[in-house]
Amino acid sequence: MVTIPTIVVAAPASGSGKTTVTTGLIGALRAAGHTVAPFKVGPDFIDPGYHAVAAGRPGRNLDPNLVGTDLVAQLFTAGAAGADIAVVEGVMGLFDGRIRSDSTGSAVDEADAIACGSTAHVAALIGAPVVLVVDGSGHSQSLAAVLHGFLTYDTSVRIAGVILNRVGSARHEQVLRHACTRVGLPVLGVLRRDPSLAVPSRHLGLIPAAERSADAVAAVDAMSAGVAAALDIPGIMAAASERMPLTAAAWSAADVLAAETPETPGASDTPDTRAPGPGAAPVIAVAGGPAFTFCYTELGELLVAAGARVAVFDPLTDTLPEETAGVIIGGGFPEEHADQLSANEPLRHQLARHAVSGGPIWAECAGLLYLTRELDGYPMAGVIDAVGRFSPTLTLGYRDAIAVAGSVLFRVGERVTGHEFHRSVVVDDHPGEAPAWMWRDGTGRPSGHGHASREVHASYLHVHPAGHPAAVARFVTAAAAFGGSDGSRGAAAAALMPVDREGNAAS
């Protein structure tokens, strides 16, 4: 039974300051001697990066849309292991979740349409109380009515108190405190307007902590100090202790993979899910560094549990690690580093040769862009015969997708719920090539996306590995078959062999 004190930091709407308050609270608790387990509701990769800097341990995501409701409490229990308090940052407004609809666009179930994947939904799944961060800059006495609405909208949600953010003056604070008293909610902290606590942002939101390096650490330290001075830490700790006990067993990558039913060899068009045998641990090269910062914590745990050796490399400066048998390139911001990525010609040649040789590659979003011929005019790896372009249009949302081509990850017909989040497009795809996914577009018509072959799976869709452990196991098995136990057939064996745009060896 899990009874670790837990608080969920929510807000009436996006832009209220949840990330600043959550990151600062994590840092303040750590500075006070606590071991803090940080979490983020939803698919966001960026906020957990700041949480990790503040907590000194990985941030994790809790998203029922990506992993299913049954796994949320298990993933929370696993992530909270060894901590004495958990802090969960919400997503958007407290009750904002995914609206599931049928083919006509009508909500399938009203309760589900309101709550699925919302902060309120996740708080209920993990039995935790909520503290609301309110942007006080646009509020006065009417704040009481807003808070009354949140208190009565769904009485199953336990709102423990309010943190007043961006308060302008002592008089403003007095008025807002009176509004909170009117509805019986304690004020657990007051933060004055302070532009120095803001985290720099750009076209897709906050700049990831991994890109800012020392600046990110300094920003987290400032947030932690500001929050420690402004919040009622003992009051928040007391509220966190009033959580409901959880009976969910901790999620375990090893247990999940052990429970997978091995597929009969030759029965499908993809490798089976059995882990490689003893001594066959393939090296899986996982892209990291400033350009590729998006990665769920559970991916590394599943790779290791499936029998792989994980080697992180920075595509801006590195070549593939020795004995690389499989490559994973996740999300990030390659458009911000296109010149450096292009300048690393040895790595681009290695990736092209790896693909031509039949080496497995798994690429999501930024990884898809990196595998194209070029990105905004800069030459890329050329694994996929397409070009990437920055776009003024933001593409954002969950997608219910079906695999339409067998690959190193998914069998034909497998269904997933993934998430798109990009401001770029990939054009000039060959129409005859099989897409990775099909899903219905905004008009309800089926639409193909990404690229899939037996060796390469690349698309804009982010898929949470904990929701699809068999896909990770298939990838590791394919890498083991390609590279062998000594990696003699891996990409590093042909380390710097030049290749042309089609991936053929150059003379």
- Residue 266's pLDDT is 35
Whether 54 maps to a domain, the answer reads: yes
Q: Which of 116, 180, 295, 365 is catalytic?
A: 365
Joined tokens for residue 338: 């296109």
Rounded Cα–Cα distance for residues 10 and 94 (Å): 6
Number of domains making up the chain: 2
Residues of 247-273 as b/e, b for ≥16 C-beta within 10 angstroms? ebebbebeebbeebeebeeeeeebbbb
Whole-number Å distance between alpha carbons of 191 and 227: 7
Distance CA 334, CA 330 (A): 11
Q: What whole-number distance in Å separates Cα of residue 433 and Cα of residue 448?
A: 11
Whether 187 and 318 map to the same domain: the answer is no
Please check whether residues 156 and 269 belong to one and the same domain.
Answer: no
Cβ pair 257, 469 in contact under 8 A: yes
Residue 94 in tokens: 């407290």
295 is catalytic: no
Give every CB contact of residue 58 below 8 A, 6+ residues apart in sequence: 48, 52, 79, 297
Domain of residue 385, CATH code: 3.40.50.880
Are 260 and 236 contained in the same domain? no
Q: How far apart are CA 176 and CA 98, in angstroms?
A: 31
pLDDT on residue 444 = 82
Residue 507 forms part of a structural domain:
no
Query: Residue 167: inside a domain, yes or no?
Result: yes
| 390 neighbors 333 (Cβ within 8 angstroms) | no
Q: Please list the residues that pair with 422 across neighbouring strands.
A: 395
Note whether residue 93 is domain-resident: yes
Q: Which of 118, 106, 114, 129 is closest to 72 using CA atoms?
A: 118
Sign of the alpha-carbon torsion through 456, 367, 311, 345: positive
What is residue 432's predicted lDDT score, i.e. its pLDDT? 54
Helices (H) and strands (E) in the chain, counts: 17, 21
Do both 207 and 347 map to the same domain? no
One domain for residues 151 and 34: yes
Mean pLDDT by groups of 10 residues along the chain of 507 residues: 92 94 96 97 91 93 96 97 97 87 47 70 96 95 97 95 96 97 98 76 54 74 93 97 93 93 45 52 95 94 97 96 96 90 97 95 96 95 92 87 94 95 78 81 85 92 97 96 56 38 37
Distance from chain centroid for Cα 124: 21
Quote the tokens at residue 242.
């009033």
Position 42 scores a pLDDT of 95
CATH of the domain at 149: 3.40.50.300
Describe the chain by its helix, strand, coil percentages, rounded to 5.
Answer: 35, 25, 40
Q: What is the DSSP letter of 496?
A: T
For residue 124, give its domain range. 6-240
Which amino acid would we find at residue 208?
P
Q: Are residues 218 and 307 in the same domain?
A: no
Q: Are residues 218 and 259 in the same domain?
A: no
Residues 185 and 81 in one domain: yes
Is 248 a member of any domain? no
For residues 29 and 119, state if they share a domain. Answer: yes
Backbone phi and psi for residue 132, each to the nearest 5 degrees, phi listed first: -95, 125
89 and 40 both lie in a single domain = yes
Claim to verify: residue 64 and residue 194 sit in the same structural domain:
yes
What are the structure tokens assigned to 318, written together? Answer: 């590195």
Does 22 reside within a domain? yes
Instruction: Please give the order of strands across the beta sheet that includes 60-62.
Output: 60-62, 36-41, 85-89, 6-10, 130-135, 159-167, 187-192
- Residue indicated by tokens 């700790």: 237
Specify if 505 maps to a domain. no
Residues in CB range of 263: below 8 A, 6 or more apart: 272, 273, 274
Query: Are residues 263 and 217 part of one domain?
Result: no
* Residue 158 domain-assigned (yes or no): yes
**Distance of alpha carbon 382 from alpha carbon 374, whole angstroms:** 7
